[in-house]
């Protein structure tokens, strides 16, 4: 790391100079009207730009509609409200509204013709929380590395992912993916407008974490997103498991039939006779009902926005082929699973993993309760995040022209001695270390952040994370399954937890075989 530390010192010195050079893009004519931004430390920011009409009233549960024009100059100096969601300590959103389809831009461009690469961030939060205005996603520090940064809002929970037979009939296609359609509408806005901010619409990278990373993977198979991005980064995301038809382990996105049935139960709980009546119900009541109706809102295999099982679509080479950079964290199961016992773990696996339960149990030692707690966390990590990420990388490397790069974030701290928690990498990628906590971050964290943000922005620029002064990050292939470890010594090593992932290979293959026979 000595060589990279020297590189960091030189880069930091350059950035100190760069922060004194004012950006020149202060205003832009965009879809809907003119916007004026603010400049600080050489970066111009534009906050709260609408990219679609407010999805309220009759537009609730419809695809996003064209933005409403405004007169005069809109002062883009304040974030738009986050989309309606329940309060959460993990997603502290300053304000919320159904009128939430806004995006934000940070640009270091000195002129509109600079044609800098563009990075579009899609937040996580289990498709029920999050906002582009969260402090962790401030794009100014990443923009300093020569990219135009964009963060976008999308509808959440029942507002973004309610499927219902009446909504399917209304659209003539499918229902339940309004939040994904918001993301696609924002990407169309980027394609049409980002050149005004010095961005290059032919070099757009979509990236996100958790639900945002899952969204990225879904956009790689959506025909509506074709041509709207040229690179894809997913942090702890991927939607390559089986479609959910019941309560299968590792299944999250439901089939349209399952989602529509959930939607019918939700409308009953809401006390609405039909969709028209439900559109008249205040947003706070819709949100409150979603918390009590025992209905899970998630993107849907609707046959339209998501045409089908993503694993099979990749096998059939029916996807938006771009280079990908994907990865997971070493202890992200810790956020979701606190403890277990040997008996509870065995019961969980036998009830969820069917004919492959014995192989899964053998892959995760659980003879004591302490081992069982570790096993439960690791199985959650692998079945929810790591298996889909590895499967995605294999499919991309085998079926696509774009290369796949895989990482494993294993940064340990006194607060997380067993490994990196879910979402722990975000501050390092954005160069926003500390998350508001007092005190300067350790120098080792600064070095790691410079390393990761350099890889991410290099990838946005060229489709390859490698660059001068950085440890070599090899492409992931079936013949060479090496990944970049980010920890005390950042270097390429063999794919971690391979035996456990192999057991899950057998599980998902078996489940797919069962689903084929049940048609």
Inter-CA distances, 309 with 256, 305, 324, Å: 12, 12, 19
Which residue from 181, 117, 124, 178 is spatially nearest to 150, judged by alpha carbons?
Answer: 117
Q: Is 164 a catalytic residue?
A: no
Q: What is the mean pLDDT of residues 443-448?
A: 94
Q: Is 210 a catalytic residue?
A: yes
Q: Check whether 205 has a pLDDT greater than 50.
A: yes
237, 215 contact by CB (below 8 A): yes
Strands 27-30 and 73-75: unpaired
Tell me the pLDDT tens digit for each residue of 492-504: 999 999 999 999 9
Task: Look over the chain and give the mean of its residue pLDDT values, rounded to a whole number.
Answer: 92
Q: Please list, residue by residue across 118-132, b when 16 or more beta carbons sit within 10 angstroms of its beta carbon and e when fewer do.
A: bbbbbbbbbbbbbbb
Q: Check whether 438 has a pLDDT greater than 70.
A: no
Q: Which range of residues forms the domain containing residue 229?
A: 2-517
State the CATH number of the domain containing residue 250.
Answer: 3.40.50.1820
Catalytic-role residue among 164, 366, 411, 422: 422
Separation CA 401–CA 206 (nearest Å): 18
Catalytic-role residue among 133, 140, 210, 217: 210
Pair of tokens at residue 297: 């809102």
Which residue from 453, 435, 449 is spatially nearest to 119, judged by alpha carbons?
Answer: 453
Separation CA 322–CA 216 (nearest Å): 12
30, 73 contact by CB (below 8 A): no
Q: Is 366 a catalytic residue?
A: no
Pair of tokens at residue 466: 């490698």
Residue predicted with more confidence, 9 or 220: 220
306: left (phi over 0), alpha (psi -120 to 50) or beta: beta
251 falls in which pLDDT band (50, 70, 90)?
Answer: confident
Inter-CA distances, 13 with 10, 80, 427, Å: 5, 34, 21
Lowest mean pLDDT among 258-267, 318-327, 428-437, 473-482: 428-437
Tell me the pLDDT tens digit for each residue of 29-65: 999 999 999 999 999 999 999 999 999 999 999 999 9
Domains contained in the chain, number: 1
92 falls in which pLDDT band (50, 70, 90)?
Answer: confident
Catalytic-role residue among 260, 332, 425, 450: 332
pLDDT value for 21: 53
């Amino acid at each position: 790391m000595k060589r990279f530390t020297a590189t960091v010192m030189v880069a930091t010195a350059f950035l100190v100079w760069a922060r004194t050079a004012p950006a020149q893009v202060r205003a832009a004519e965009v879809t809907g009207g003119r916007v004026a931004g603010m400049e600080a430390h050489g970066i111009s920011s534009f906050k709260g730009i609408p990219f679609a009409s407010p999805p309220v009233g009759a537009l609730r549960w419809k695809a996003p509609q064209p933005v409403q024009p405004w007169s005069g100059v809109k002062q883009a100096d304040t974030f738009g409200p986050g989309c309606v969601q329940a309060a959460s300590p993990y997603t502290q959103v300053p304000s919320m509204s159904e009128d939430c389809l806004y995006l934000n831009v940070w640009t270091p461009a000195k002129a509109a013709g600079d044609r800098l690469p563009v990075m579009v961030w899609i937040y996580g939060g289990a498709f029920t929380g999050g906002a582009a205005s969260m402090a962790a996603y401030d794009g100014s520090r990443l923009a300093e590395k020569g990219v135009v940064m964009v963060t976008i809002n999308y509808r959440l929970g029942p507002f973004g992912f309610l499927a219902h037979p009446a909504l399917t009939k209304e659209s003539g296609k499918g229902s339940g993916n309004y939040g994904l359609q918001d993301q696609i509408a924002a990407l169309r806005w980027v394609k049409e407008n980002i050149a005004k901010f010095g961005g290059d619409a032919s070099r757009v990278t979509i990236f996100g974490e958790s639900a945002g990373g899952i969204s990225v993977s879904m956009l790689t198979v959506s025909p509506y997103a074709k041509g709207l991005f040229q690179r894809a980064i997913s942090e702890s995301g991927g939607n390559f498991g089986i479609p959910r038809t019941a309560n299968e382990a590792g299944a999250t996105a439901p089939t349209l039939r399952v989602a529509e049935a959930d939607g019918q139960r939700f409308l009953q709980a809401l006390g609405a006779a039909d969709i028209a009546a439900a559109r008249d119900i205040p947003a706070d009541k819709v949100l409150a009902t979603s918390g009590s109706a025992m209905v899970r809102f998630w993107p849907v295999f609707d046959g339209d926005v998501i045409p089908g099982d993503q694993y099979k679509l990749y096998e059939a080479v029916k996807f938006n082929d771009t280079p990908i950079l994907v990865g997971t964290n070493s202890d992200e199961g810790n956020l979701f699973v606190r403890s277990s016992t040997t008996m509870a773990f065995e019961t969980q696996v036998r009830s969820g993993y069917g004919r492959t339960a014995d192989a899964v149990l053998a892959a995760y030692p659980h003879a004591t309760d302490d081992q069982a707690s570790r096993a439960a966390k690791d199985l959650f990590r692998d079945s929810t995040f790591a298996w889909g990420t590895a499967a995605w990388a294999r499919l991309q490397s085998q079926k696509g022209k774009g290369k796949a790069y895989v990482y494993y974030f294993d940064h340990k701290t006194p607060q997380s001695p067993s490994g990196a928690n879910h979402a722990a990498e975000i501050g390092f990628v954005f160069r926003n270390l500390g998350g508001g906590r007092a005190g300067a971050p350790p120098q080792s964290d600064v070095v790691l952040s410079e390393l990761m943000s350099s890889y991410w922005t290099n990838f946005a620029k060229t489709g390859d994370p490698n660059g001068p002064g950085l440890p070599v990050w090899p492409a992931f292939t079936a013949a060479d399954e090496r990944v970049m470890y980010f920890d005390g010594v950042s270097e390429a090593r063999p794919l971690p937890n391979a035996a456990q992932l192999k057991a899950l290979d057998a599980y998902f293959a078996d489940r797919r075989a069962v689903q084929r026979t049940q048609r």
